[in-house]
Amino acid sequence: MSDQAERKSYDPKTIERKWYDFWLEKSLFKPEVNPSGRPYCIVIPPPNVTGSLHMGHALNATLQDVLVRWRRMQGARALWLPGTDHAGIATQNVVERELAKEKTDRHQLGREEFIKRVWKWKGEYGGRIIHQLKVMGASADWSRERFTLDDGLSEAVRTVFVKLYEEGLIYRSARLINWCPRCRTALSDLEVEHEEEEGILTYIKYPLSGGKGHVLVATTRPETMLGDTAVAVNPADGRYNELIGRKLDLPLTCRQIPVVADPAVEMEFGTGAVKVTPAHDFNDEEIGKRQSPPLESVSVIGADGKMTAQAGPRYAGLDRYECRKLVVEDLKSLGLLEKEEKYTHSIGHCYRCKTVIEPLSTPQWYVRVEPLAREAIEAVRQGRVRIIPEGWSNSYFAWMENIKDWCISRQIWWGHRIPVWYCRQCGQVIVARVTPQACPRCGGAAPEQDPDVLDTWFSSALWPFSTLGWPEETPDLKSFYPTGTLVTAFDILFFWVARMIMMGLKFMGDVPFRDVYIHALVRDQEGQKMSKSKGNVVDPLTIVDKYGADAFRFTLAAFAAQGRDIKFSEERVKGYRHFINKLWNASKFISMNTQEEAAGSIDGVSDLPSRWILSRLSQAAEEINLALEEYRFNDASNRLYQFLWHEFCDWYIELAKTGLEDAGQAKGIRWCLLHTLDMVLKLLHPFMPFVTEELWQTIAPAGKGQSIMTAAYPKDLPRFPEAEEQMGPVIDAISAVRNIRGELGIRPGAKVNVIVNAYSGAAADTLKRHVPYIKRLAGADSIIIGTGIEDQKPKKAAVNVMQGLEVYVPVAGLLDIETELDRLGRELGRTGKELDFCLRKLMDEEFVNKAPEAVVAKEKAKCRELEDKKRNLEESINRLKSMEVENG
C-alpha cells in the first residue's frame, strides 16, 4: 500500500522537514483554518533575538504547541502568536563585542550608525531561534510574527509611556539605583541577582576629632569610606550615647564627619557603629535622608566603576577593587586597621554580565507601580487570571504587595528611545507620542530627545495586546484578547507575567490571559541548573538530531509534572523513541492487514475484543482531554503510552490476529484496527506532530481531510461497559496460563492443555466463545471450560487462581514438582499474609462500626476471595506432596 511498509523502522529525519513544509504551504498554522471556531490564543514568551534554543525554550515551545494543536483540532480558531524580543542589553553587548574585535566601539561609530549595525546583525543572526522553533514543530502563525521594536509595537510603547506620564504614573527622579559598571546602565531591582559570596569584613578606626579615642566601624567595602559622610549608631545604644553629635576624622581624607543616631542600626551587629555612605549604599541613603539636615552625599565611584576625583588624588582613577586594596594598605600603615574577618554575605550582580552591581545616584525614569499592582493583585484574587500550579500565586502576591517603583530607563542605545524631549532654550520637558519639531512653550527649535532607552521588559509588558495590533483596534485584537493561556517558567513571573497583568488591566481594561501555566525548569541529570559555565548544557537540537523532534517533545511533555523541576535524561528520550517505533510498526501491521478496507463503520463491529478496545479508547480519550484541560501534560502522555502500547498493541492487535481468521468478523476487525489507529494518531498528534501526520497520511481512511492537524480531536467516543466486563475473564485466563508457563519455565514453543474452572456461567460462556483467542495467546493445545469442574483438575497440574476463575495446566512430563511446590508455596505465603491482615481488620469492632459500609463490604469480599484462594492453593500443594510421596 505504501512505502512505509517497506521501511523497517521509523526514521524521523526523512519525514519531519517534509511535513513542516507541507503545513506551511497549506497555511495550516493560521487561525483562519477554523474561521468560525471559538478564539483561542497563546502569545509566545518572546525569546531574545540573540538567543539560541535551549532546553527551557524547547519545553516551553512544546507545551504551547501541544495546547494550540489540541485546541485547533477541537475546532478552535487557534492562534499561536510568535515573535522575539529586542533584548536591549544582551543584544547591544553582542554587537559591542563584535566591534571590539574590529578594534572600535559604539562611541566611535556614533549612535545612528551603531543602531544600523545592530539591525544588520539582527537581520543576519536574529532569526536563528525562530528557525529552531520550527525544527521543534511549532505550529505558530509566522505570518503574524512580531518583534518588540516593530513600528506597531513601538507605537504601543510610546502611547503607554505618554499616558502613564500624563497620569503621574511615570516620573523622573535622581536617587540611588543599581548600576552595572560594565554595561554602563541602570538596572531594575529584578535585574540584580543576589549571590552569597565569601568576603572580608574590615574593621576600621575612625579617630574622634580633637580628642583621644576612636569609633570602630566594620565594612565589606572599605573603598566606600572615602565617601562616608557620617557614622551612625542606634540612639538606644548606651555605648555610643555620648558620642552622638561629636565629630570624627575620616581617615585618608581631610574631612570630618559627625556621629549620628538612627534607629535602623543594629546594636548587635559588628561594633554597633556603622559608616554611612549615602552615595553608594541604599541603606545609607535612607539614613542620610532621615537626618535633618539630610546628610551630604559624596560620590567617590563613577559610572565606569573607577574612583572619582572626589575620592582624592591618591585614589582617583583607580578601579574600585584596586582602590579597596590600597585603602586597606594605607589604613594598615596608619595603624587604623583593627582587624579583618572572613565574612559571607550576599552581593548583587548584573543578571546579564554578572558584574558586581554598584549603587549609584543618577537621574532615571520610574513607573509608580503600586496603583497598577493593586488591580493586578485583585485580578488574581478573583480568579480572573488563574495561576497554575496555584502555589505560585503566593509568590505573586508576596512580590506584588511589596512592590517597589520600577526603574525603566537604561543608558544604552538599542531599544525604545524614551519619548521625552528637552527644549534647549527654555528647558521645557516635552512628553509626546510624536517627535516634536519645536518647543510648544517657547517655540525653540528641535528639542533634544532624552538619550536613554526603555527597559526591554517595558515593551514586553505590552506584548499580549501590542502584538495583536494595539493601539489600533484591529480584528485580531478584538478576537484574541484576552488570550487563553500563557505558558512560561517561574523565573519571569515578576519580570514579565505580573507586568503584563498590570499593563493589560490598565490599557485594555481586562486581563491579558485567563490562565498562566507555569512549567518547570529543565535541569541536568544531577538536578543542577544547566549553564554554560558548568558545561552541563544539553543542546536540544542535538537531541532532535539524534532522536527526532517527536520523541523529544513527547519526553518533555511526559516530564512536565506540575510543580517539579525536570531532570533531563537522554535515556528517557531513547525510551520514547522506542515508543514511536512501536507505533510505527503497529501502523505497518495494520496497513498490511487492511489494504483497501477503509470503508465500514462501528455497526460492522460485532466481536468482543473490538468492542472492548473501542471502549478502552473512549476512556483513554476522555482522560487525555481532561488532563490537557488541567495542564497535566505528563498524565496525558503517560495515558497515551499506556493505551497505545499495553492495551492496543499488547492485547488488541494480538487478539485481532486471531479474529481476522474468522471471515464473518474480519471486516469489522479491520475497520476497528484502522479506526483505533486513526484515533490514536489524532490523540497523539499534539505531542508528536510529525510521525502522526506521516502515518495518518498513509494509513488513515482516505478522504478525511488534508492533514491530521485539522482533523477533529477524539472526544465522546462510545463506551461498551459490558464488553469491558466480559473481556476480564478472557484476559485473566490468558494471563493465568502465561504466568504458569513463565514461572515453570515452559518453553514458548511447547503447547499446553488448559482447564478453566469459571465461577460463573456467564464467564464460562464468554470463555467458550473465545477459545481460539485463548489458544493462540496462551499457547494452548486444548481447552476445557466449565463451571464447578474442580473434579477435572488433573493430578499433576499447575494451578492459578484469579478473581473469577481458576486455571489448571496439566504438566505431566513438563512439571518439576519441586519447582511448582516452590511457586505455590510463595503464592500461599503472600495470600496468607494478605488474608491475615484482612481478617484482623474485620475483627476490629471499631473498624466495622466506624468505617463506611462500602469499605467494610469491600474488605469482607476480599476476605472471602482470599480464603478461597488460600484453600485452593493448599489443596494443590497437598496433592503435589502426596504425588511426590507416591513417586518417591
Partner RNA sequence: GGGCGGAUAGCUCAAUUGGGAGAGCGCAGCCCUUACAAGGCUGAGGUCACAGGUUCGAUCCCUGUUCCGCCUACCA
Which DSSP category does 708 fall into?
Answer: G
Give 68 or 590: the residue with its C-beta nearer to RNA.
590
The amino acid sitting at 230 is A
Q: Which residue has the cell 476512556?
A: 619
Give 768 or 841: the residue with its C-beta nearer to RNA.
841
**How far apart (Å, rounded) are the C-alpha atoms in residues 834 and 831?**
5
Does 473 participate in binding RNA (rule CB under 7 A)? no
Compute the radius of gyration of the chain from its Cα atoms. 37
Smallest separation (angstroms) from RNA to the CB of 124: 33
Using CB under 7 A as the binding rule, the residues of this chain from 639 to 658 that contact RNA are 641-642, 645-646, 649-650, 653-654, 657
From residue 357, alpha-carbon distances to 281, 595, 622 in Å are: 11, 70, 53
Applying CB under 7 A, among 325, 826, 864, 881 the residue interacting with RNA is 826
Using CB under 7 A as the binding rule, the residues of this chain from 172 to 231 that contact RNA are 189-190, 194, 196, 217-221
- φ/ψ (deg, to 5) at 484: -80, -60
Candidate segments 68-76, 131-139, 557-565, 767-775, binder of RNA by CB under 7 A? 557-565
Closest by Cα among 15, 43, 12 to 466 = 43
Applying CB under 7 A, among 172, 175, 738, 870 the residue interacting with RNA is 738
Give 56 or 471: the residue with its C-beta nearer to RNA.
56
Cα atoms in the 13 Å half-sphere on the side-chain side of 871: 6
Smallest separation (angstroms) from RNA to the CB of 251: 15
Under a CB-based contact definition with an 8 Å cutoff, are residues 399 and 498 in contact? Answer: yes
Does 745 participate in binding RNA (rule CB under 7 A)? yes
The amino acid sitting at 799 is V
* Cβ-based neighbours of 209, under 8 Å, separated by 6 or more: 246, 247, 248, 249, 256
Smallest separation (angstroms) from RNA to the CB of 283: 4
Using CB under 7 A as the binding rule, the residues of this chain from 65 to 104 that contact RNA are none
By rule CB under 7 A, what count of residues binds RNA?
93
Using CB under 7 A as the binding rule, the residues of this chain from 297 to 326 that contact RNA are none
Smallest separation (angstroms) from RNA to the CB of 324: 12
Smallest separation (angstroms) from RNA to the CB of 775: 13
**Residues 490-519 as x/- pattern, contact with RNA by CB under 7 A:** -x--x-------------------------
Closest by Cα among 419, 409, 476, 452 to 146 = 476
Smallest separation (angstroms) from RNA to the CB of 463: 20
Under a CB-based contact definition with an 8 Å cutoff, are residues 216 and 271 in contact? Answer: yes
Work out whether the CA dihedral 386, 389, 391, 397 comes out positive or negative.
negative
Candidate segments 138-146, 240-248, 573-581, 718-726, binder of RNA by CB under 7 A? 573-581
Under a CB-based contact definition with an 8 Å cutoff, are residues 461 and 505 in contact? Answer: no
Cell of 72: 485547533
* Cβ-based neighbours of 225, under 8 Å, separated by 6 or more: 204, 219, 250, 251, 252, 275, 277, 327
Closest by Cα among 53, 150, 67, 85 to 513 = 67
Candidate segments 61-69, 157-165, 413-421, 731-739, binder of RNA by CB under 7 A? 731-739
Smallest separation (angstroms) from RNA to the CB of 511: 22
Candidate segments 147-155, 369-377, 558-566, 755-763, binder of RNA by CB under 7 A? 558-566
Under a CB-based contact definition with an 8 Å cutoff, are residues 215 and 168 in contact? Answer: no
471 cis-preceded (ω within 30 degrees of 0): yes
Applying CB under 7 A, among 72, 77, 616, 741 the residue interacting with RNA is 741
Smallest separation (angstroms) from RNA to the CB of 274: 4
Applying CB under 7 A, among 571, 716, 791, 886 the residue interacting with RNA is 571
3-state secondary structure 607-619: CHHHHHHHHHHHH
Closest by Cα among 60, 33, 41 to 138 = 60
Give 6 or 112: the residue with its C-beta nearer to RNA.
6
Smallest separation (angstroms) from RNA to the CB of 189: 6
The amino acid sitting at 79 is L
Does 536 participate in binding RNA (rule CB under 7 A)? no
Give 271 or 361: the residue with its C-beta nearer to RNA.
271
Using CB under 7 A as the binding rule, the residues of this chain from 9 to 68 that contact RNA are 9-11
Applying CB under 7 A, among 446, 712, 812, 855 the residue interacting with RNA is 855
Smallest separation (angstroms) from RNA to the CB of 583: 8
Q: Where are the beta strands (DSSP E) in 252-292?
A: 256-261, 273-276
Applying CB under 7 A, among 566, 620, 628, 799 the residue interacting with RNA is 566
**How far apart (Å, rounded) are the C-alpha atoms in residues 195 and 348?**
6
Under a CB-based contact definition with an 8 Å cutoff, are residues 413 and 452 in contact? Answer: no
H helix or E strand, kind and range, residue 447:
none
Smallest separation (angstroms) from RNA to the CB of 532: 16
**How far apart (Å, rounded) are the C-alpha atoms in residues 198 and 537?**
27
Smallest separation (angstroms) from RNA to the CB of 549: 14
Smallest separation (angstroms) from RNA to the CB of 35: 35
Give 265 or 439: the residue with its C-beta nearer to RNA.
265
**Residues 391-410 as x/- pattern, contact with RNA by CB under 7 A:** x--xx--xx-----------
Q: Which residue has the cell 476463575?
A: 805
Using CB under 7 A as the binding rule, the residues of this chain from 108 to 147 that contact RNA are none
Closest by Cα among 658, 786, 789, 796 to 740 = 796
**How far apart (Å, rounded) are the C-alpha atoms in residues 423 and 399?**
39
Using CB under 7 A as the binding rule, the residues of this chain from 574 to 603 that contact RNA are 575, 577-578, 580-582, 585-586, 588-589, 592
**Residues 831-850 as x/- pattern, contact with RNA by CB under 7 A:** ------x---x--x-xx--x
Applying CB under 7 A, among 851, 863, 877, 883 the residue interacting with RNA is 851
Give 39 or 222: the residue with its C-beta nearer to RNA.
222
Give 316 or 851: the residue with its C-beta nearer to RNA.
851
Give 29 or 648: the residue with its C-beta nearer to RNA.
648
Under a CB-based contact definition with an 8 Å cutoff, are residues 580 and 558 in contact? Answer: no
Give 529 or 881: the residue with its C-beta nearer to RNA.
529
Candidate segments 48-56, 375-383, 440-448, 523-531, binder of RNA by CB under 7 A? 523-531
Give 434 or 854: the residue with its C-beta nearer to RNA.
854
From residue 193, alpha-carbon distances to 47, 274, 279, 306 in Å are: 20, 25, 21, 22
Give 562 or 766: the residue with its C-beta nearer to RNA.
562
Under a CB-based contact definition with an 8 Å cutoff, are residues 188 and 508 in contact? Answer: no
Using CB under 7 A as the binding rule, the residues of this chain from 253 to 292 that contact RNA are 264-275, 281-283
Does 852 participate in binding RNA (rule CB under 7 A)? yes
Does 351 participate in binding RNA (rule CB under 7 A)? no
3-state secondary structure 846-863: HHHHHCCHHHHHHHHHHH
Under a CB-based contact definition with an 8 Å cutoff, are residues 263 and 234 in contact? Answer: yes
Q: Where are the beta strands (DSSP E) in 27-121?
A: 39-43, 77-81, 83-84
Candidate segments 27-35, 91-99, 571-579, 602-610, binder of RNA by CB under 7 A? 571-579
Closest by Cα among 517, 520, 515 to 389 = 517
**How far apart (Å, rounded) are the C-alpha atoms in residues 74 and 799?**
50
Applying CB under 7 A, among 743, 765, 867, 874 the residue interacting with RNA is 743
